[in-house]
Structure 1
Amino acid sequence: MRTIITRLASCLMLLIMLAWQGVGRAAVVLEPGQSSRPITSDMQYLHDETRQQGLDDVLRLPGSAWQQNDSDSFSHGYTNDNWWLRFAVGNTGAQTSRLLVELAYPVLDEVEVWVLGSNNRVDAHYRLGDKQPFHERILQHRFFLIPLELPPAGEHMVVLRLKTTSSMQAPLTLWNERDYHERDQRVLLAEGLFFGGMGLMVLYSIFVFVALRDRLYFYYVLFVFSLLVFLASLKGLSFQFFWPQATQWNDRVLIVTLASMMASGGLFTIRFLRIREYMPRFFWLTLGLVVMTSLTVVLAFFMSYGQLMQPLIVTAALSCLVLLGGGVWRWRQGDRSARFYTIAWGSMLLGGVVLALNKFQLLPQNFLTENAMQMGVAAEVILLSLAIVDRINEERRQRFRAQQNILASERRAHEAQYKALVAEREANELLEQRVHERTEALQIANRKLEELSTSDQLTGLRNRRYLDRALQEECCRCQRYQHPLAVLLLDIDHFKRFNDEFGHDVGDECLRRVGAVLAMEMRTPIDHVARYGGEEFCVVMPETELEGARIVAERIRSAVESMRFTVGDRVVPVTVSIGVASMVPPDEDYSREMLKKADVMLYEAKAAGRNCVMTPGRSGNRA
């Protein structure tokens, strides 16, 4: 009997499904090469004010009961009613298609999803929403993701039931699964950079607060921290990474952080702009807003989200306007720091107003309106940091001027005593001048000693000590950034025979001439040229591939060969053999290996007949 009833129900559902498909729009399809497509304008919705209807109830309704959502956004403000959405997803390709439906609004309380197949069976049923622990989601993601697998020429109907105490929004997008995950990595990178940068500013301000013990920095830290947690919660990141099991706290964190942000912002403003001193009436207005928002933090643990969020958004917008007005007024009064403060709060206010208008359906839901607060926050945090720095500098200037005035008064009051101390002061100044001169002379001598210790006295080039240090530094840098590093090792051909035949004085002159050619041929200031030892020279060239290093080496070889070197009336040919090595260092301590590889190439160049350039995998190039 139960089997017969089940089959009858299936037939009835099939008829309803066919009727539904007849009144709806065509299925949403990703064309070849298309990674995503918005669903919002292709779906139908049903407003269930009774909050009692189930899936069977809404499927039995006639097509006229459903409304077509012709807008690019779906936003219906704050409501506790159920909202039903439906749309078809098709696959026109010849292969199975793996898709994702993204619902990019992570603060929805209840999201129930049914995926209906063409045979009227429920292929999948999911319960999502931020009232569920995070691990119960079908896909572990900050947004609500619905996986779909469509066979060739297949089609699914997707039905959603939404209920929330927050603003009713449903930004739905159909994605190719692979393209979505690739794009999501880039989004997470951008989010990480933003929150990481803001977090560093918070840590920096904490250290400054600990060092200076100034409450101004404490209010600033609390303000920025509340902002970051608010934005992270609004985007679903906090629920995913910090409290995936704490659903009750996740429901209240937006109210707590927004109210805390306004309260700490008000306290920061009172102290930063010295409101109590210069604007006493405005001080009481600002203090009243601080008390209201602080009370909201407490009420968040006893009242629902829907009861508090709407009045809190209004209060937050009013607070931004009041604080912005205070900044403008102090700016007009001549407070230099107020200019940064005013622009900062203006950026914050603009972002908050755009977000509030979006929540109240007065602006469409898109990337700009959804991220307006984040953009405003970045500008505000940077500008407030500049404002604090400017405020500190201004206080220093005021203290300096006050000290100058005090000193001037003391000089006038003690003029006689001052004259008696002139000689002693001049003696001290003379002593300080001499100490300063001696210090400068010592510094110059130290620099000369440092230069002598890293220079080869014969050729004027850098010596082996400098080379080892420079090569190690370049090896570390190129390994860190994965850039190529080239090393050239040069040896003057038959130099020992040259010394034996002409004497060491002529040999030294030959070394100087070759060194001069090397210095002239190195046209890039980041390259390092050094005498490696004896008749050997070394060139270190960062950011240089093997082919580029080979070209430079060949230029050096040709220049040395073309050099006119005479001993008496006799022209003596001078040539060099060059070994080249170039690679991205695999680790930071690879400098010795680089020299060994270049030395191996140098050995091969000499074995190949000298007066040539040898690179890995190439025969020597000889004039």
Structure 2
Amino acid sequence: MAKFRILCAILLCWATTAGAVIAPSSQDNELLIGRDLSVLVDPEGRWGIGDVSGPFVDRFQPSNQLYPNYGFTSARIWLRFEVDFSLVRDQPWYLIQRHPIIDHLVFYAPDGVGGFQSIEMGDTLSFSERIFNHREFIFPLDSSADGTQTYYLEVWGKGALNLELKLASAQGLVERTYREQMLFGLFFGGLLVMLIYNLLLFFSLRETAYLYYVVFLGSLIISLLNLNGFGLQYFWPSWPKINEHYPFFVTIGAAALLRYSLIFLDVASRMPVAERWLQWLFRISVVMVPVSIFLPAPWSYLTNTALVLMVVLSLFAIGWMVWLKGYTAARLYVIAWSLFLLGCVVFSLSNLGLIPHSALTNYAPHIGGGWVAVLLSLALGDRINLLEYQRDSLSRDSEEAMRRHVAEVEQLDRDKLVFMGYLSHELNTPLNWLGSAKMLEAESVPKELRDAVRMVQRGQERLHQLVATSLRYFDLAGRDHQPAHGYCQPMWMLDKMLPDFAAAVDAKSLRIINRLPAELSVLACERELHDVFSMLMDNAIRVSPEGGVIEWLGVREEEALVIRVEDQGQGIVREQLDSIFRPFFMVGSGHHVDGFGLSLPMARVMITQMGGKIWAESAGPGKGAAICIRLPLAPG
């Protein structure tokens, strides 16, 4: 009886320490074998296949996880499973480790003579050392052997040891690979389209938020390529060391994401305290970029995980607060981060071994990353729409305010013209009284009053000219109709008026050069154009030095004639080139005995009412000036 109890205890112990025999059938394409495994942990990593298949064989414990997860550990994990291929004899079957970022895997298969043959793979080895050109770790199994076969798998690494082991037939492997390649192609293609689209928007709008978002998308794509094994398969097959430095790309993405969020949410003006916190996180992320290269694993992975969780949680909370403060563009931002936050938290907790590993935890970053890429792009568009609405609203308000301002200014101008016209008319009466002073002969009054009489006569004459000139200017500026236009020949008009200025020209020994084209005619009011020419000639003579030259030039520009009146006078500073056309403005001292500062303003009014344009040019003080007139050419 005692022997029977001992035998039962031995059988019970064997049953609890050994996994079930896996027997694939022809109807099976893939089998998850997580719970069919037996597990042995080698804390110091000293044991070999001879130890675990010999003296330590009884130390294996059954796995109770469908997706075994050991987190970050320095121990080596030994896995054992048994397979009976009698139902699928001579058909190709494979052991597959689906999680492609395990540093080292050594697979031990029976060699038929009592020993084992080994195959080593891992993402720290060159991709060319793999048997199959596949992102996952695939080990071939010998289905031609008789009876139950026992296999061992040794796993270790600096990263999280998340296992998803399957047995798959050739058909099952091909079908799943085809489906996944299509899905991943669509996924990464969508991310790439988002990246290019936002890059083009940056070049078009020069909005730095788009540039930071592009950097974030780029780092997200590289990180996910690393996590999925596509990076080692297609982009850096001979440089597996890059896989160890994926935190480098993650920290770049975190820094870019923080800058993007600061701009997008306008945190500086809405929440200054939160802005300072995000600035500190940004500085930490920037520091972690080079540190992540030199910091050894697993510390680089752990600090990277902590940084990602801190950044995502902060952005999620601040996004909520900004949204609650009334910034409607933040709603898509918050919705985007909700799922991405959940994905990052799930993936991080899975890597830390705090929650079971599964297909969902493995692809949580992909789901969250795709979600955030789409919604953040939509959020940028929503932000642009909001900014455009605010801009249009401000534009409408500004336009309305400008209309009111223009109406007020126009009314003031009209009131000013009425007042100045009234004042000029009222000045005529006292001027007429003073006109009697002209009848006085200076010699007919006492000697001590002669200078006073001459001063009164000069003052009366100047006031009379001022009133007459002012009345004409205000009449021109206040009229609401254009003068009658006709065909005018500027060259002949100038030639005809030159004798009127002969005395003034000879007095200063000036030379007048008429280079206006004789064959060109303009459409203008001849009487008023003659007045403008007289004003420009008088102005040029007055400012020209002794022996100077006044040149009249004409150049055809499309359907217009540009007339230039160039002198060699005192010149005009740049700031006063437009001011000289304002009423009563004078260059220099502001006072001239022979002028009132109204000739050029009158010329501008008349030229403008003819459909032309007048302006001044000068290289500076002492370098002369040119008054330019542009008038439409007469048809024909």
Return the TM-score normalized by structure 2.
0.61
1:192-591 equivalences under 5 Å are: 192-252=185-245, 254-415=246-407
Rounded Cα–Cα distance in structure 2 between residues aligned with 1:186 and 1:279: 46
Cα displacement string for residues 246-272 of structure 1 (whole angstroms, at most 9, x for unaligned residues):
1212211x2112212211111110011
Alpha-carbon shift at residue 376 of structure 1 (Å): 1.1
Please say if 1:54 is aligned against 2:31: no
- Partner-residue secondary structure (3-state), 1:305: coil
What corresponds to 1:113 in structure 2?
107
Q: What's the counterpart of residue 181 of structure 2?
A: 188
- Return the offset for 1:335: 0.7
| Cα deviation digits, residues 358-377 of structure 1 (max 9, x gap) | 11223222221111111111
Letter of the 2:267 counterpart? I
Distance 2:15 2:119 in 1: 22
Q: Contact 2:105 / 2:154 at 8 angstroms: preserved in 1? A: yes
AA at the equivalent of 2:81: F
User: For residues 73-222 of structure 1, what are the structure 2 equivalents within 5 Å?
Assistant: 73-93=67-87, 95-117=89-111, 119-122=113-116, 124-151=117-144, 153-222=146-215
Q: CA deviation at 1:211?
A: 1.5
Separation in structure 1 between the aligned mates of residue 150 and residue 266 of structure 2, nearest angstrom: 61
Kindly indicate whether the alpha-carbon contact (under 8 Å) linking 2:33 and 2:165 is maintained by their aligned counterparts in 1.
Answer: yes
What is aligned with 1:483? none
Q: How far apart are the structure 2 equivalents of 1:313 and 1:369?
A: 15
CA contact (8 A) 2:23 2:87 kept: no
Q: What's the CA shift for 1:328?
A: 0.8
Q: Could you tell me how far 1:351 is from its partner in structure 2? A: 0.8
**Matches of 1:49 and 1:387 in 2, distance apart?**
49
CA distance in 1, matches of 2:351, 2:237: 25
Identical pairs, percent: 27
Conserved? CA contact 2:17–2:38, under 8 Å: no
Query: Which range is displaced more, 381-390 or 306-315?
Result: 306-315
CA contact (8 A) 2:26 2:88 kept: no
Measured against aligned partners, the alpha-carbon deviations of 1:1-26 in whole angstroms (never above 9, x if no partner) come to: xxxxxxxxxxxxxxxxxx99996333
Distance of 2:289 and 2:151 partners within structure 1:
39
Instruction: Identify if the C-alpha distance between structure 1 residues 408 and 23 changes in structure 2 by more than 3 Å, giving closer, same or farther.
Output: closer
Query: Per-residue displacement from partner, 1:130-171 (whole Å, max 9, x unpaired)?
Result: 111000012121111001121164433221111111111221
User: Taking structure 1 as reference, are residues 165 and 183 closer, same or farther at Cα in structure 2, changes over 3 Å only?
Assistant: same
* TM-superposed deviation, 1:92: 1.9
**d(CA) in 2 for partners of 1:236 and 1:20?**
38
User: In the TM superposition, what is the alpha-carbon distance from 1:398 to its structure 2 partner?
Assistant: 1.2
The aligned counterpart of 1:70 is 64
2:45 corresponds to 1:45: no
| Secondary structure class of the residue paired with 2:46 | coil
Flag the 1:98–1:154 CA change in 2: closer, same or farther, 3 A: farther
Q: Return the letter of the residue paired with 2:101.
A: V
What secondary structure does 2:153 align onto? Answer: strand
Q: Which has the larger radius of gyration?
A: 2
Deviations along 1:318-377, one digit per CA (max 9) or x if unpaired, are 111111111111111111110111111112101101111211223222221111111111
Aligned length: 401
Aligned letter for 1:101? L
What residue number does 2:551 align with? Answer: none
Contact residue 48 and residue 82 of structure 1 kept, 8 A: yes
Distance in 1 separating the partners of 2:230 and 2:150: 30
RMSD: 2.1
- Counterpart residue identity of residue 197, structure 2: Y
Give deviations 1:498-538, integer Å, cap 9, x for gaps. Answer: xxxxxxxxxxxxxxxxxxxxxxxxxxxxxxxxxxxxxxxxx
Query: Do the aligned partners of 1:93 and 1:152 also contact (CA within 8 Å) in 2?
Result: no
Kindly provide the CA deviation profile for residues 289-311 of structure 1, in whole angstroms up to 9, marking residues without a partner as x: 11112222211221113011112
Pick which of 153-162 and 40-49 moved more. Answer: 153-162
Cα separation, 1, equivalents of 2:145 and 2:139: 19
Residue pair 2:336, 2:371 contacting (<8 A) in 1 also:
yes
Counterpart CA distance in 2 for 1:297 and 1:416 is 60
User: Aligned partner of 2:123: which letter?
Assistant: D
Query: Aligned partner of 1:75: which letter?
Result: N
DSSP-derived class of the 1:61 partner: coil
Shift of 1:64: 3.4
* 1:400 CA drift (Å): 1.1
The answer to whether the 8 A contact 1:150-1:156 is kept is no
Q: Please name the residue that 1:515 is paired with.
A: none
Deviation at 1:101, TM superposition (A): 0.5
1:521 match: none
Asked if the contact 1:110–1:130 (Cα under 8 Å) also holds between the matched residues in 2, the reply is: yes
1: CA distance, partners of 2:364 / 2:275: 29
Question: In 1, distance between residues paired with 2:299 and 2:23?
Answer: 40
